[in-house]
Structure 1
Amino acid sequence: MRYAETVILKDGVELLVRNAVASDARALRDIMQRTHAETDYLLSCPDEQSVDDEQEARSLAETERSDNEVELVAVLDGRIVGSAGIAAVGGRCKVVHRARFGISILKEHWGMGIGRVLTDTCIDCARRAGYTQLELEVVADNERALSLYRRAGFEEYGRNPRGYRSTASGYQELVHMKLEL
């Protein structure tokens, strides 16, 4: 799925949202490393990257060619500062209507509206791909993210009290959310 759009953020800052491409592999891996070190709310720890640059580049190229999945990057002043994407829950007929949503932004760029732009863009991409339900999991203590997702229309449908086990804070409760498209 192809996507590219420039959006004006607060204070007139220009943000380019576009497909992540194979040549972004190294930068995306670096961003993942940084964002996962900056917050305890993401799925993996900074040292758990299991792919190298070449594998990441192949994955990005495959996703870029996909009709129903997308990986996007947020670019400020020529630098990638965040990413978001949607991925199919599965290809079997009983789950083909569902997609998962994920997002991460460098902490120094929180509060600029990038999260909302990426979220809205992924919702639009999910609709264009034909999904009727977009899903995510968020740590219950992550009030900023919960607020963003609720404003975008996501609704809670369950919780897992021991969904994550953080090395820093122990078990973290996960909130399961969905958006009917």
Structure 2
Amino acid sequence: MKYYKEYLLKNGKTLIVRSPEENDAEEMINLVNLIDTESKYLTREPGEFAYSAEDEKILINKRDTAENILWTVAVIDNEIVGVAETSYNNRKNRFRHKGHFGIFICKKCWGMGIAGKLMLSHIEWSKQQNLELLMLEVVDTNQRAIDFYKSFGFEIVGTVPHGMKYSDGTYADEHTMVMHLTGSINSDAGYIYTY
């Protein structure tokens, strides 16, 4: 599904949230590999991302035509600095009402408001798809992310003990968080958005 929206960030820069294009494949792979080294909270160890540029192009085209997936990149000054995805099961009516959300931003862009704008874009799209719930998983030690999600109305509804195992043999618990897509949500800028 094609998507495009522009936002003005707190620092005066323009953020473009848009669907990825084939020519973004190499840059997206480089971003994923960078972010995997910057954060211990993601699902991959550094070096585990095994997609080639050709694989990524195929994935971009496949997701671009899917009605049940919104995959977006965050672009500042012609550089992709983040990625977000929301998807839902459109084949099973009993699960058609809930979407799954994921996001990552490169470390140099943390605190700029990018995640909040991506979140708003994905919430808006989810509402247009008539979704009732958005779900995500987050490592229990990632308090910054947990607080961010809570500011939008997500709540912790369960925890999987040892849900993530690191290559050094240590574990982290994993929270499942859910947001009901009715009522008001808070943005990272302190505004309240009502849907």
TM (norm. structure 1) is 0.94
**Conserved? CA contact 2:68–2:90, under 8 Å:** no
Structure 1 residues 172, 27: closer, same or farther in 2, change over 3 A?
same
**Which residue is equivalent to 2:18?**
18
Kindly report which structure 2 residues correspond to 1:109-120, keeping only aligned pairs within 5 A, or say none.
109-120=109-120
Q: Which amino acid aligns with 1:74?
A: A
Structure 1 residues 89, 167: closer, same or farther in 2, change over 3 A?
farther
Structure 1 distance, partners of 2:142, 2:97, is: 27
State the 4+ residue runs in structure 1 displaced beyond 4 angstroms. none
Q: Report the RMSD for the aligned CA atoms in angstroms.
A: 1.4
1:97-136 CA-partner distances (Å, limit 9, x unpaired): 2211010110011011111111111111112122221110
Structure 2 distance, partners of 1:10, 1:133, is: 29
**Conserved? CA contact 1:67–1:129, under 8 Å:** no
1:84 and 2:54 are equivalent in the alignment: no
**Which residue is equivalent to 1:167?**
167
1:63 to partner: Cα distance = 1.1
Structure 2 unaligned regions, length at least 5:
182-195
**Percent identity of paired positions between Structure 1 and Structure 2:** 31
Structure 1 distance, partners of 2:45, 2:80, is: 20
Larger helix proportion, structure 1 or 2? 1
1:32-65 CA-partner distances (Å, limit 9, x unpaired): 1111110000011121113221121111112112
Structure 1 residues 146, 169: closer, same or farther in 2, change over 3 A?
farther
Kindly report which structure 2 residues correspond to 1:95-134, keeping only aligned pairs within 5 A, or say none.
95-134=95-134
Secondary structure of 1:40's partner?
A: coil
**Conserved? CA contact 1:68–1:130, under 8 Å:** no
Structure 1 residues 30, 97: closer, same or farther in 2, change over 3 A?
same
**Conserved? CA contact 1:137–1:177, under 8 Å:** yes
Q: Which amino acid aligns with 1:125?
A: W
Aligned length: 181
Q: Which amino acid aligns with 1:178?
A: V
Structure 1 residues 36, 62: closer, same or farther in 2, change over 3 A?
same
Structure 1 unaligned regions, length at least 5:
none
1:47 and 2:50 are equivalent in the alignment: no
Secondary structure of 2:61's partner?
A: helix
**Conserved? CA contact 1:68–1:126, under 8 Å:** no
TM (norm. structure 2) is 0.88
Structure 1 distance, partners of 2:75, 2:39, is: 20
Structure 2 distance, partners of 1:91, 1:172, is: 33
Structure 2 distance, partners of 1:90, 1:32, is: 27
Structure 1 residues 169, 141: closer, same or farther in 2, change over 3 A?
farther
